[in-house]
Amino acid sequence: MQSRLQSRVLLEQATLHLRGTNMKKLTLCLAVALLFGSGNLRAQATAPAATTLTVIRAGTLIDGASDTPRKNQLIFVMGNHIAKVTDGSAEIPPGAKVIDLSAATVLPGLIDSHTHIFLWGEDPAKGGYDVNILKAGIALRAARATFAVRIALEQGFTTLRDLETEGAGYGDVEIKQAIEEGTIPGPRLFCATRAISSTGGYNLEGYAPELEMPKGAQLIDGPVEARKAARQQLDHGADWIKVYMTHRSWVDRQGNLVSQPTLTLEELKAVVDETHGWGRKVACHAYNGIGLQRALDGGCDSIEHGLEITDAQIAQMQRQGTWYCPTLSPYYDDWAPADTPDGKRDRARAAVHEISFRKAMKAHLKIVFGTDMGGIPWTEPIGQEFGRMVSFGMSPMDAIQAATVRASELLDMKGEIGVVAPGAFADIVAVSGDPLKDINELEHVHFVMHDGSVFKNEISK
């Protein structure tokens, strides 16, 4: 990783300083870059030309890594990477394109670590979850996913970890391919494809037993089937494997939240062993109880939702270095009536979730920003999760880092995304106000650069 970053920085900075000099020096620079690794040149072949220099004037820079914003900075972008970041007094070479964001706050491109681009909301009045699978064909779902990734990019989210297609097979991998080839605009995608659960552990449910209903995840029974499912998904392009370790939840007679466990520990260990063998990671949907404990004992890399986490489980996550993606927002809106079983469940989920989130912060767990967009309609602001995190006690800077540098570590992309720093991809966004004073500014991103190309600019004219 470090050698790749070094070669990119060397090539881009040398090109910057050698503008107008003789070709022999540039040839020497290219030769040195080849010594670090020829793969870097291949990776740049489809990116903006390496000699294209863009300089961004940042009034305030929150770089993703530092806890302290910096005033009056210059960001030098060569091709699709950041070459250097300097004080505003530095010289700008003649001919460089200058983007004036001197009245704005500039940040790294944002990262949502839990989305569903193939899910189109779950409003019961519109048919709930089931209508996504029963009423929408794959072409319509792909069109909606295309809309979702564009919306995400427009809102400043330049990277998504998309945690399964909800019955749309490997469609996320193909949307990713369409983005990478330039057919459609969208963020950098990390895909989980079909996800894995067990018989009785995922929708569609409640239909006549003689009907073979489609399911929103790949269902397995036994360690052999679990390992095979992981192999199939990895073989078809999964960057992550998503496992549902809990399914239904309800409130028992004592008022406690109870969640149905799905995979056994042996089944999960088969998935984790296979996935780790491929150099990939496993994300576990786990609300609480037995299923969440199995997720930790089985070696999951990230806990998704984690509505009710015990003190002992918090301590285990600390020891194991388990990531926590809480996805707060979906659990605090659209509750069922209070006197119904679903209403009691909804309120119990929200009550324990805030407690778990606060405990995780106090224990300094590795928390990343995730929204569960798709469960939330894509027409709503993705950035609303920032406000929820801050309202539960997280500092604005910590919330920003959860969606930048910490998320880059989760994705094994530290130094490449989630920071405004030399060697990183040129994923840069800006807002008009100060998100450290009002975190809701991040619901209104006015400038987006992705991979060195300006996608949206409502600030600098």
Q: Tell me the whole-structure pTM to 2 decimals.
A: 0.89
Predicted confidence band of residue 334 (pLDDT cuts 50, 70, 90): confident
Q: Average pLDDT over the chain, rounded to whole? A: 90
Among candidate residues 114, 187, 178, the one with its CA nearest the CA of residue 149: 187
**What tens digit of pLDDT does each residue of 284-316 get?**
999 999 999 999 999 999 999 999 999 999 999
Is the per-residue pLDDT at 29 higher than 80?
no
Highest mean pLDDT among 38-47, 126-135, 237-246: 237-246
Q: Which of 136-140, 201-205, 263-267, 456-460 has the lowest mean pLDDT?
A: 456-460
Q: Where in the chain is the domain with CATH 3.20.20.140?
A: 110-382
Q: Which helix (H) or strand (E) holds 50?
A: none
Q: Could you tell me whether strands 81-87 and 70-78 are parallel, antiparallel, or unpaired per DSSP bridges?
A: antiparallel
**Average of per-residue pLDDT across 227-254:** 97
**154 Cβ contact list (under 8 Å, min separation 6):** 445, 448, 455, 456
pLDDT (0 to 100) of residue 307: 98
Is the per-residue pLDDT at 317 higher than 60?
yes
pLDDT (0 to 100) of residue 50: 63
Q: Which of 34-38, 273-277, 344-348, 355-359 has the lowest mean pLDDT?
A: 34-38
**Average of per-residue pLDDT across 136-149:** 97
Is the per-residue pLDDT at 38 higher than 90?
no
Q: Which of 28-32, 57-61, 154-158 has the lowest mean pLDDT?
A: 28-32
Angstrom distance (rounded) from CA 39 to CA 457: 32
Among candidate residues 448, 420, 408, 403, the one with its CA nearest the CA of residue 185: 448
Q: Where in the chain is the domain with CATH 2.30.40.10?
A: 2-108+420-457
CATH class of 110-382: alpha beta
CATH number, span 2-108+420-457: 2.30.40.10
Q: Is the peptide bond before 265 cis (omega within 30 degrees of 0)?
A: no
pLDDT (0 to 100) of residue 102: 97
pLDDT (0 to 100) of residue 123: 81
**What tens digit of pLDDT does each residue of 370-380 get?**
999 999 999 99
Q: Which of 23-27, 255-259, 322-326, 457-461 has the lowest mean pLDDT?
A: 23-27
Is the per-residue pLDDT at 80 higher than 70?
yes
